[in-house]
Each structure stands twice: as C-alpha cells, then as structure tokens.
Chains A and B, each alone.
Chain A
Amino acid sequence: MKHEKTKHEFRANTLPALVTVGPVTIIMVLLIAVPLIYVAVMSFCSIDEFYNVTFDFTLENYVRLANVDYLKIYAQSIVIALVTTVICILVGYPFSYIIARTKSKKKKILYMLVIIPFWTNSLIRIYGWRTFLGSSGWLNSLLAGIGIAKEPIEFLYKQGTTILGMVYCLIPFMILPLYTAIEKLDSSLLEASSDLGARPVSTFLEVILPLTSSGIFSGSLMVFIPCLGYFFVSDILGGGNSDVIGNLIERQFQSGNNWPLGAALSIILIVVTLILVKIYQKLGGDMDSLGV
C-alpha cells in the first residue's frame, strides 16, 4: 500500500518536474557548469616539456598573473571598457529616450535601426570600419575631396579607434535595456513634476534619471564586461596596440601554447564579472532586466 503511494507521488510530482525541468538542467550542466569546472581545474594544472597539460597541482599560473606587465594590460583593458561604457551611456540614453517617447510607426523603424546591424557578423562590420577609416579609405577620400585634409589623417591603429569599435559593437546592449526602462516610465509622474514647478533639468535629474537607473546599470554591465574580452576589435582597429584581457587569453591558447595560464586568465575575467554583477545587485539592480 505504501509502495503504491510513493509510486503515485512519483507520477504526480516528480515525473512532471523531471520531464519539464530535466532537459534544461542537463543542458545547463553540460554546457555551462562542466566547461566552467574544466577551466577552473585547468587553471591549477602544469604543462610538461611538450606543452601538454598535466594534472600536477600548481599555483604558478596565478603567480604569473600578478606580474606588473599583465596588471598594466588589465588596467588598460579596464580603462578602455570604462570609456566605452560612458560613451555608450551618453550616446545611448538620448537615443533610447527618443525611441521610447516616439509614438507612431517611426518607433518601429528606430527600433529596427538598432537591431538590423546584428544580422551581419560583427567581425565583418569591424573590417568595414577598417576599410572606411584607412589612409585611402572613404572618409579620407571625402575629407580630401572637400578640401579639409591635404594629407590623409591617420585614424586607424590607435586606442581611440579600438574604443570607437567597441562602442559601435556594444551600443545596442546599452540601448535595449535603457529603452525598456524608459518605456516603463509613467508619464503622469513627469506631469506632476512640472505641475509642482520643476524645471525640465531638475525633472530629468530628480525624476527621470533615478527611475531609469536600473536600465543604465544593466546596460553598463552588458557593455563593460564584453569590452574586456573583445580581442578582435583591438586586433583589427587598434592594430594590436591596445590589448585587452581577451588578447592575453587568446595568445595563451594559441602561440603561447600554455592552456593552464590561459585558463587562469579566464578565471580572473570571470571573477571580475561576478564582482561587477554582485555590485549591481547590491545597488538594487534587477537580474531580470539583464536578460533584455
């Protein structure tokens, strides 16, 4: 009798749960947890004389990461990411505001303008920028044509070009959460604010900005973090003169042939990401709005 009951319970409770949540859990474990554990374990491994990974526990990989030169590249990478994030906020905020406040069909068009570039691979678009900005590129031909520049201006292969590329690639990730946040804004609050005698500037600073700060936070997070890893942008537009953490990782898996060191670098990147997400949560950020 008791046996019957547990069988019934299994059918009623456990089985549906297994069927619905089971596949997702398996996918999450296989595709996210296992690789992460693999990377974490590898970061404590050594390499033998043939650069094969051996399972001898060592902390040497992490000791090497504390090297001053690596620290300078982390710092450079963080500066690039910070500047990119700030520019994305400054450009993205007004744009999102306009989309959110536009009524009529134009709204869809504006929204699609943000989405459509996604249809082309970002690598190709970044190469496009390189052609556009080169010494004999379109921009220089145009400037020479209208007589502004006699000699071609050197736009490429500078830190600023890397930042331009990062902003270009990542700004949709700022605009979309900002748009969601601004659209949620109750317009009666704005009316109340102006009824109570607030000027537009103080309405913006004291009503709109605080109410949309969640969008700014989640947008910043989604711009800042990939910025640390987008090595192809700094390779193609920065000409290798403004390496980010992603470049260091890529090199250890390629020519450096030191996978454990690359794994340790990846762990550092993951830790930085986790810290930032924690700060975001502490500041009252909503984890749902990270999922655009």
Chain B
Amino acid sequence: MKKKILSLIMVGAMACSMFVGCGSSGSAGKNGEINVFVWTEYVSESAIKAFEEESGIKVNVSTYSSNEDLLAKLKSESEGTYDVILPSDYAVEYLVAQDKLEALDKDKLTNLSNIDEAYLNESYDPGNVYTVPYEGGVACIAVNTAKVDKEITSYADLFDPSLEGQLVVLDDYRAVIGMTERSMGLSMNETDSDTLASVEEKLLTLKNNVKLYDSDSPKSALISGDCSVGMIWSAEVALAMDENPDIEIVYPTEGAYVFLDNWAIPKGAKNYDGAMEFINYMLSAEAAQMNISDFPYLCPNTAALEMMGDEYVNNEAKNVPSDVISSGEFVSYLDTDTLAIYDEMWTKLKK
C-alpha cells in the first residue's frame, strides 16, 4: 500500500512537471508569427505585447540563460526554428565566422538613428552588417561603504589581502580571469602561455578573498550583507543600490569587461520580414523605454534615455557612462587550446 501511495505521488509529480515549459502556442496572428529566442529576464513583456498589437504579428518567445545555450540550440534545432536571436558580442563573432546570420536590410531599420553611434560599428560586426545593439553592461565593482574602509577604484584593489572572505564574484571564468588580466594591464583575451602562467599566479591570490561565486543573483549576497564587495554586472549593482543605499558602484580604472547584446536573424529564418519589423520596433524609443524600465541594463538608445528623465540618466549604475564602454574590452572567442588553459586555471582556483 505504501508503495502504491509513493508511486502515485511520483506519477503525480512527473505529470505536473510535464507541463512545465509548454507555452501556449495558439494560432498565428493575422500577419503571421515570428519565433524569438532571447535571454531570460531581459526583454520586457509589455514591449512584446505592444509590438503584437501594433503589427498584428504573433510573437512566440523562448529564452536561454547563456550564449552557450543559444549556440547549442542553434546547432541542434533545424534551420528556421528561430527568426530573431539576441547573442552577445563574442557569440556574434562566432556566428558570423560560421556564416550563420542573415544580413540585415538597413532600409527597413528606420529606427536605427535612435542608437548612439558609440555603440555601432563594433569589432565583432564592423559596419553592423548582421546585428544591431540592444542593451549591454559592465562587470563593475560594488562596494558596501558601511562595511569597507578601504577605497576601491580598480580591479587590482580586489586582490588586497584586507578583503579576505568578503567578495562575491561572477561564477564565470572569462569574467574573473579577464578581470585578473585587466588588473595586470593585459588584454582579457591573452593567448600567450607564458603570460597566462603569470596570470594564473595572480589569480590564485584572489582565492582567499572570494566568499561566493554567483552569476544568477549576486546582488542578493550584497543586499543581505553576506558579502561587502562584489565584481558583478552593472544592472545587478543598480538593483542592489535601490535596496541598500550604502552600496556604491565603481567602474575600474583599468577599463572594464563590457558586453553588448545584439539583435540578429539566424540563417534560414522563416519570417525574415516579420523579424525585421520586430527588430526595428525594438529600436524604437517607446520599446527601449519599456525594456530599460524593467531591466536597467546599459541602453544605447539615446531617444529612450531622453524620455526617461534626469533621475534615470544621472544614475551611474543604470545609465553607464559611454567612456566606460569605450575604455572597456569585449571578451572574444579563444582557440580551443587557450580556452583549455583558462579552464585549468579556473579549476585550480576552485579546488
């Protein structure tokens, strides 16, 4: 009898979990539908609804939580599964190198003029042939000034022995190793093995300072007071500052790890025109405004920023100064042998 009850419970649990992830597909809108594949917690639902109403195109949204997720899905799903994707800088570089993106029809991007030119023509897509920027961010430093006396201005300061056991850093080896490289005046994409040996030495001195590796919600440890200094994404700092006024944002003097996420259309998309219309709408001031209100990442859309008002524009964490971006560096795709060295360093740090 007990076994029966137990198995009933199990079956119930499994039956429930089957429905997880089944979105309503429903019927297509009167002007067709598009399949959009974007980061989780990144694109405002109200912006998507507004687009559906305006265009009559139904939008099916699915989400991923890392570029690797996105690339793996593009590899495993048949061509034409997605019409719009939102890869970061280095993922764009990778997709372009493999000829996996459709060129964008610039004539249809009437809202492109809203985008600050400082964010166009980036190294991963010169001339913006395949992509246009959406939002971005910086791996910057958050300091709880009530708990930390030392003045922190750079990545190098994070290695200071006085910060023992106080740091939360991103659980992301390109970010943490890249930060170490920047603190030594090197590029985040070093490939020379002798240089990397000295980077490893420096990296291991960080071990005692790190209390927590967390990429999902590093702000929580800062808000709760478990950690007093963080090397985390700028939008996370912005949200932490809203909760705890003692927290301040510091952009490292060495120049930060920056990222930009970009709208793109994968090769073989079934509804190219619908996808172009969607991307153009996302570049509009009203859509960008809805997006940054929900997810305060760096916004290259100047028209939207003008509408957001002074409080937003003067908030250094939400509206990242453009010189932070120009002095920063993107992560780029490394060859497999170099990435293996990075992976080994990270394993040493975490053992």
Contact = CB atoms under 8 A, between A and B. Distances in A.
Contact of A136 (B210, B224, B347): B224
Which of B212, B340, B346 has the most C-beta atoms of chain A within 10 angstroms of its own C-beta?
B212
Given A50-B94, A119-B9, A255-B174, A239 B344 contact: no
A92 to B, nearest CB: 17
5 contacts: A52-B75, A115-B9, A157-B226, A235-B213, A254-B66
Contact of A69 (B6, B336, B344): B344
B18 interface: no
Given A115-B6, A135-B226, A240-B213, A50 B98 contact: yes
A10 interface: no
A255 B172 contact: yes
Interface in B168-205: 171-174
A50 B97 contact: yes
Given A134-B224, A134-B225, A248-B347, 15 more contacts: A49-B335, A50-B98, A64-B340, A135-B225, A135-B226, A156-B212, A156-B226, A239-B212, A241-B211, A243-B350, A243-B351, A255-B68, A255-B172, A255-B174, A258-B336
A118 interface: yes
A291 B9 CA distance: 16
A70 interface: yes
A235 B212 CA distance: 9
A47 B347 contact: no
Interface of B: 2, 6, 9, 13, 66, 68-69, 71, 75, 94, 97-98, 165, 171-174, 210-214, 221, 224-226, 335-336, 339-340, 343-344, 346-348, 350-351
A-B pairs, top 4 by smallest CB distance, nearest first, are: A240-B213, A239-B212, A135-B225, A72-B351
Q: Interface on chain B toward A: helix, strand, loop, or mixed SS?
A: helix
A257 interface: yes
Given A50-B97, A64-B340, A235-B171, A241 B350 contact: yes
Interface string A253-271: 1111110000000000000
Contact of B212 (A115, A157, A251): A157
Contacts of A134: 221, 224-226
Nearest to B225: A135
B75 A47 contact: no
A50 B94 CA distance: 7
B13 A136 contact: no
Contacts of B335: 49
Contacts of B214: 235, 239-240
Contacts of A154: 165, 226
Interface in A197-255: 235, 239-241, 243, 247-248, 251, 253-255
A96 to B, nearest CB: 14
A216 B226 CA distance: 38
B347 A70 contact: yes
Contact of B339 (A52, A67, A118, A256): A256
Contacts of B2: 111
Interface of A: 47, 49-52, 64, 67, 69-70, 72-73, 76, 111, 115, 118-119, 134-137, 152, 154, 156-157, 235, 239-241, 243, 247-248, 251, 253-258, 292
Contacts of A248: 347
B66 A69 contact: no
A151 B172 CA distance: 31
Contacts of B69: 254
Contacts of B6: 115, 292
B225 A152 contact: yes
Nearest to B3: A292
A120 to B, nearest CB: 10
B213 A239 contact: yes
Nearest to B343: A256
A119 B13 contact: yes
Nearest to B213: A240
Which of B174, B335, B351 has the most C-beta atoms of chain A within 10 angstroms of its own C-beta?
B351
Contact of B347 (A50, A73, A240, A255): A73
A240 B350 contact: yes
Contacts of B174: 255
A70 to B, nearest CB: 6
B73 to A, nearest CB: 13
Contacts of A257: 68, 71, 339
B219 to A, nearest CB: 13
Nearest to A52: B75
Contacts of A69: 344, 347-348, 351
A248 B165 CA distance: 23
A118 B225 contact: no
A118 B172 contact: no
Nearest to B223: A136
A76 B174 CA distance: 24
A118 B351 contact: no
A140 to B, nearest CB: 10
A251 B343 CA distance: 9
Contacts of B9: 115, 118-119
Nearest to A137: B224
Nearest to B210: A241
A253 B9 CA distance: 32
Which of B13, B71, B210, B226 has the most C-beta atoms of chain A within 10 angstroms of its own C-beta?
B226
Contact of B211 (A118, A239, A254, A292): A239
Nearest to B97: A50
Nearest to B228: A135
A69 B9 CA distance: 42
Nearest to B5: A115
Which of A119, A255, A258 has the most C-beta atoms of chain B within 10 angstroms of its own C-beta?
A255
A71 B144 CA distance: 37
Nearest to B95: A50
Contacts of A255: 66, 68, 172-174
